[in-house]
Each structure stands twice: as C-alpha cells, then as structure tokens.
Amino acid sequence: MNTKLVKTGKIIDGQEVIGIELTNTKGTYVKVYNYGTIISKFVVTNKQGEKQDIVLGFDDFDQYLSEGYRENYPYLGAVIGRYANRIKDGRFNLEGLDYQLAKNTGYDCLHGGKTGFDSRVWEVLSTIDPSVTMRYVSPAAEEGFPGNLVVELTFKLTDEDELILDYKATTDAVTPINLTHHSYFNLSPDGGPIIHHHHRMPASYYLEQDDTYCVTGKLIPVAGTHHDFLAGKPIGENWDTELGYDQTYVLDKAYGELTLASETTEAASGLKLTVYTTEPVAHFYTAKYLDVKNGKGGAHYEPFGAFCVETQHAPNSVNVPSLPSTILKPGERYQQTTIYKIEHQ
C-alpha cells in the first residue's frame, strides 16, 4: 500500500496544486487532486487481467482549467458543495432571513454557485497509506451562503478495492450543506455509450422535477415506469433516448444507514461497481450534456458516454420542508460516507 504526493507545478490562489496517488496491494490505483478533490484516475484490473481506468478525466491537470472545458463544464470527478444540484431561484429563507445565492444555471443555483468547492484548492491535512485527508474553509457569504463552513474529506483505498469517501463539516452559523462527488464512470474497456451497462438501484420512488430540473418534493413511484431499477436492467432499456436519466432517486433505507445505493455491471470488462452511502438519495445522471474533447488518450467524451451516482440529500430540499433537512447548526457536525467498491461479476 502506498500514498504518493506529486507536484503539478501549478499555483492557484496562492496555493500549490498537488496530485495524491493511492495504491493498494492489488495494484488498484486512484489519483486525486487537491484542486476540487478531483478523482482523475481510478485504475482497476478487469476480468482479462488488464488495467482499466473507469473514470472520465484528463491526462494533464491543466486541461481541467482550459477555457474549452469550462465553457460546457461537466464537473468531471469533482467534489460538489456547498450545495449539490439545484436550489430553486438561487434563494432560500433561514430563520427569518432571505438569502440570495449566485445564479449559474438560468434562474437557479447549481452545484454551489459560480465558484463552488469543485474549483477551490483544498489543504492537504494528512496522508496515511493509502489515504489522504483534505480540508476547505468556506468563508461566510461565499456564493451567498451564511456561516464559515469547515469541511474535511478523506479518501481511503482499501485492499478490498473500496474507495471510501468520508465527509465531515462544522459551521459557526446556521447554513445549508449538501455535499456529493461527481465522478463519471464507464466500465467498458473500450469506452463508448453506457446503454448496455446493467444498473440496479433499491429505490421505489424518484422525486418530481419542474421544468428547470428543480425538485418539488413530490415522490413518484417507479413502478410501471422506465425509472424502475429495482430488479436491475440495461441502462438504455426503455429509456428516453433524448434525455436519458437525470433524476433523484429516494433510496429504500433507514435514514443515515450505510447501505446499498446502486450496483452497475458491464459484460466485456466483467467489472461491477457497487455504491454504498449513508445519504438518503442518489441522483442518477447519464451524461446527456457531456461534450468534452481531448479527454484521456485524446478521447472525445460524448452524451451518454458515462453515468454518475451522486449520493446526497435531495436537491432544493432547503426549500422543501417535507424532505430530510440539509441545515447544519453551530455545535453540530455534518457527516456522510460513500463507498465505491469494485468487484468482478
């Protein structure tokens, strides 16, 4: 087992950007940058005994900053905060006070605003083979959010091929918080569309969205719809061929329990990605808007060329009291764990 720090030579906001490489005894390899805690590589061994990278990203760090990539920014492999997904009209009321956030997708606030946690340099606190803990201090009023928020995120790679993400946060004023990670997965050894990946989710309901993809709070049964992944099926079976999936699924689980969020397999590689989480929902996204040129090996990442399982609390729940609360108060601690586990079929 090994943890290695690699300098990029890049300085952003006066802080050095570092790559942290985690390797277990099986040779599974994960590379994370302290910029946005981006998971840039997740290399595993497939059933042919070949090394295969299962996440989308770039070979060179500078490409994450390129103008072309940022124009149609898909948040490849980055942490999302202070608030994942959309907040309706970029507004909420907290303890009688109205807060206006940055609007960066139409009239709404998406993934924390114009400059979210995905575009910040995190401090590397510690490395213990093979793991790394990073911290970001989000000042009060950043992107319009109240309270100074201190966030720590630990990545740990086990010999069972589990990549464990442990999040912790504290605040000095009442504030909403909803963190997730936005890795784009493709389990095929040849890349391409993910329509034949077999996907299962223990979720009997998904959340209604309005015409700007903001959650309303209404739960819709998956039974009898193409949203039903309870028994598992190919992702492209009976789906909307133009939209794919961009929905929040309510997991069948006890609140706070670390249990299954999804299970995805791919026949050619023989790989199975299982996601476990303490969070109440998983946002399933099949990358409709993906259009990234010059990815790894010069690849062009196109729509439906990856899938995301974004474990979190419900989007816009700061405005929907019926949903589990995303409010953190002084003296409390935000905690969540998400695990990506790789196995063979």
Active site residue ranges:
182, 310
Whether the link from the prior residue into 303 is cis, omega within 30° of 0, is: no
- Report how far residue 285's alpha carbon sits from residue 76's, in angstroms, rounded to the nearest whole number: 13
Residue in the block written with tokens 């510690």: 126
Block residue for tokens 């995905």: 118
* Token digits of residue 247: 């929905």
Tell me which residue has tokens 């492209």: 236
Contact at 8 Å (CB) between 142 and 148?
Answer: no
Structure tokens at 33: 């940058």
Contact 247, 309 (CB under 8 A): no
Helices (H), the chain: 67-71
Tokens (6 digits) for 201: 């989710």
Placement of tokens 């929902």 in the chain: 281
CA distance 261 to 178: 17
